């Protein structure tokens, strides 16, 4: 379905980068990235995600049967009581952030496409949106969650105090960029024969090792040995962004550090994106489809979104005529809460959570660090639950409440895995246990009443 998904995107107006073939015809230009043995990635210069998103948003706005609700955050999913065949989704309670009012929205089918949870870490390539909301919502509703220990750290995030986590695409290394120390010495060959084209987990650990070993702030990614015209053609967005911070990538190396990037685990689904709750689907980074295994290959994320969205739509359209209209449910009750007079609690807990997750549950782990993080999560969870029960919900409170659940899910999944595999690397168990190949870390709400 990969080829048809790319063709569908082009039909929606996404303009992928092309080149002339040897015969003189226009063909798609393909990038090679970390862990790839061949060029296989279609792209729009160095801003593929933006090009895809904007095109699809435009098509959605034009569609007569689609209504977009901006400035709305889901508070809680609404399900029927468990029956002999399980729960069924019937809608959601949703906060209108402009009116500061919680609405009841009923639906025959709900699809979670809320992204990942990298904002649980202090440094993230997705600081604005990857707040783990869909994972926490599905968990509280009764869905299983899987493989949350496999949090991917992108090796190359721009290191600058004003950069706000700007990602330097893996394609820079795919096109010949070299990782070097401050004195210009390359180091990746010391860690893997594939050097800069090793998988992301290996590159991120190598950079982390060099930074900690040498007491330096960052390493450097150097593409300046390539012709200026080549750099400007392939990486116009990165060139423009770096220039704002006084870095000319045609002449200078780029200061980089690893940063939390992609959630390979999530809400457990089948091959049609179905979750444990009837008529509730999860697609994209919120889902654990098994496609990525223990370490996502670069650029597979957008493809996974498209393929599973199509498979989910096929299943939904087949079932939709037989799904009854949900019966009315009770509206959100705010009679026992008031406006907060302690917003500092939310901001303080935000900072504490992201700091200890970075320090104790980051690129390199130990059981001691994980248990230390778990004890802090338990304290935060109690404080947040008490705050949530007394004050009206806000977007910041909802995201904090969701992320503390996600943090505990990550920690508990990591504690289950007594080996190093893919993105989960622990000094206590540095060897990959081949007997556990294909074994998932699965958490079930009924078995973990402490996570709520």
Percentage of the chain surpassing pLDDT 90? 75
CATH code, residues 155-260: 3.90.700.10
Q: pLDDT (tens digit, 9 = 90+) per residue, 407-429?
A: 999 999 999 999 999 999 999 99
Reported as a pLDDT band with limits 50, 70 and 90, residue 447 is low
**Exposure string over 269-288, b if 16+ CB within 10 A, otherwise e:** beeebbbbbbbbbbbbbbbb
CATH superfamily of 50-151+262-322: FAD/NAD(P)-binding domain (3.50.50.60)
Q: Kindly report the length of the chain.
A: 452
pLDDT over threshold 60, residue 450? no
> pTM for the whole thing?
0.90
Contact 62, 56 (CB under 8 A): no
What local confidence, expressed as pLDDT, does residue 47 receive?
86
β-strands 287-288, 266-268 pairing: parallel
What local confidence, expressed as pLDDT, does residue 260 receive?
94
Q: pLDDT (tens digit, 9 = 90+) per residue, 221-237?
A: 999 999 999 999 999 99
What local confidence, expressed as pLDDT, does residue 36 receive?
80
Residue 168 CA to residue 185 CA, distance in Å, equals: 20
Residue 426 CA to residue 432 CA, distance in Å, equals: 10
Task: Give the number of other Cβ atoms within 10 Å of residue 368's Cβ.
Answer: 11
Residue 404 CA to residue 410 CA, distance in Å, equals: 10
Q: Is 194 helix (H, G, I), strand (E, B) or coil?
A: coil
Mean pLDDT of the chain: 92
Residue 411 CA to residue 370 CA, distance in Å, equals: 6
What local confidence, expressed as pLDDT, does residue 32 receive?
84
- Please tell us whether the domain made up of 343-447 is placed in CATH 1.20.58.100: yes
Domain ranges of the chain: 2-49, 50-151+262-322, 155-260, 343-447
Task: Give the number of other Cβ atoms within 10 Å of residue 266's Cβ.
Answer: 32
Residue 37 CA to residue 109 CA, distance in Å, equals: 40
Handedness of CA 247, 251, 257, 259 (dihedral sign): positive
Reported as a pLDDT band with limits 50, 70 and 90, residue 244 is very high
Phi/psi of residue 393, nearest 5 degrees: -75, 150
Q: pLDDT (tens digit, 9 = 90+) per residue, 148-187?
A: 999 999 999 999 988 877 899 988 998 999 999 999 999 9
What local confidence, expressed as pLDDT, does residue 83 receive?
66
Is 365 a residue of the active site? no
Of the listed 144, 178, 200, 365, which one is catalytic?
Answer: 200
- If residue 137 lies in a helix (H) or strand (E), which one and from where to where? helix 133-141
What is the gyration radius of the CA atoms in the chain, in angstroms?
A: 23
pLDDT over threshold 80, residue 448? no
Q: pLDDT (tens digit, 9 = 90+) per residue, 185-208?
A: 999 999 999 999 998 889 999 999
Mean pLDDT (whole number) for 48-62: 94
Reported as a pLDDT band with limits 50, 70 and 90, residue 306 is very high
Mean pLDDT (whole number) for 118-143: 91
What local confidence, expressed as pLDDT, does residue 314 receive?
97
Give the C-alpha distances (Å, rounded to integers) separating 230 from 65, 176, 235, 239: 44, 11, 8, 11
pLDDT over threshold 80, residue 438? yes
Query: Whose CA is closest to 70, among 61, 79, 78?
Result: 61
Mean pLDDT (whole number) for 127-133: 84
């Amino acid at each position: 379905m990969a080829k048809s998904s790319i063709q569908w995107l082009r039909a929606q107006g996404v303009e992928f980068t092309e080149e002339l073939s040897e015969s003189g015809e226009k063909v798609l230009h393909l990038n090679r990235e970390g862990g790839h043995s061949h060029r296989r990635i279609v792209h729009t210069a160095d801003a593929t995600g933006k090009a895809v998103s904007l095109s699809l948003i435009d098509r959605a706005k034009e569609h007569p049967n689609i209504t977009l609700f901006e400035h709305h955050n889901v508070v809680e999913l609404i399900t029927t009581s468990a029956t002999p065949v399980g729960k069924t989704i019937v809608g959601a309670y949703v906060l209108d952030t402009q009116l500061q009012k919680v609405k009841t929205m009923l639906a025959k089918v709900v699809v979670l496409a809320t992204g990942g949870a990298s904002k649980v870490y202090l440094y993230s390539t997705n600081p604005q949106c990857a707040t783990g909301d869909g994972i926490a919502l599905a968990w509280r509703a009764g869905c299983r969650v899987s493989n949350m220990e496999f949090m991917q750290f992108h090796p190359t995030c721009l290191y600058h105090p004003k950069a706000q986590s700007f990602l330097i695409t893996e394609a820079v290394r795919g096109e010949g960029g070299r990782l070097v120390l401050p004195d210009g010495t390359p180091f990746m060959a010391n860690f893997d024969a594939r050097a800069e084209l090793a998988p992301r987990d290996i590159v991120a650990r190598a950079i982390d090792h060099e930074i900690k070993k040498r007491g330096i702030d960052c390493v450097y990614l150097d593409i300046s040995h390539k012709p200026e015209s080549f750099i400007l053609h392939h990486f116009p967005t990165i060139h423009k962004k770096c220039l704002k911070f006084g870095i000319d990538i045609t002449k200078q190396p780029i200061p980089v550090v690893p940063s939390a990037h992609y959630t390979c685990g999530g809400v457990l689904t089948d091959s049609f994106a179905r979750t444990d709750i009837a008529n509730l689907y999860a697609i994209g980074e919120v889902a654990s489809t098994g496609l990525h295994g223990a370490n996502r290959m670069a650029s597979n994320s957008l493809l996974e979104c498209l393929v599973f969205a199509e498979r989910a739509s096929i299943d939904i359209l087949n079932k939709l005529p037989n799904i009854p209209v949900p019966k009315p449910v009770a509206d959100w009750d705010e009679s026992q809460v008031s406006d907060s007079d302690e917003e500092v609690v939310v901001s303080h807990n935000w900072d504490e959570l992201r700091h200890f997750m970075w320090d104790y549950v980051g690129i390199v782990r130990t059981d001691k660090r994980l248990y230390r993080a778990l004890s802090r999560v338990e304290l935060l969870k109690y404080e947040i639950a008490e705050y949530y029960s007394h004050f009206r919900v806000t977007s910041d409170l909802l995201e904090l409440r969701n992320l503390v659940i996600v943090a505990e899910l990550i920690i508990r999944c990591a504690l289950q895995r007594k080996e190093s595999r893919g993105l989960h690397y622990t000094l206590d168990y540095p060897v990959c246990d081949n007997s556990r190949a294909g074994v998932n870390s699965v958490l079930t709400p009924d078995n973990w009443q402490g996570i709520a």
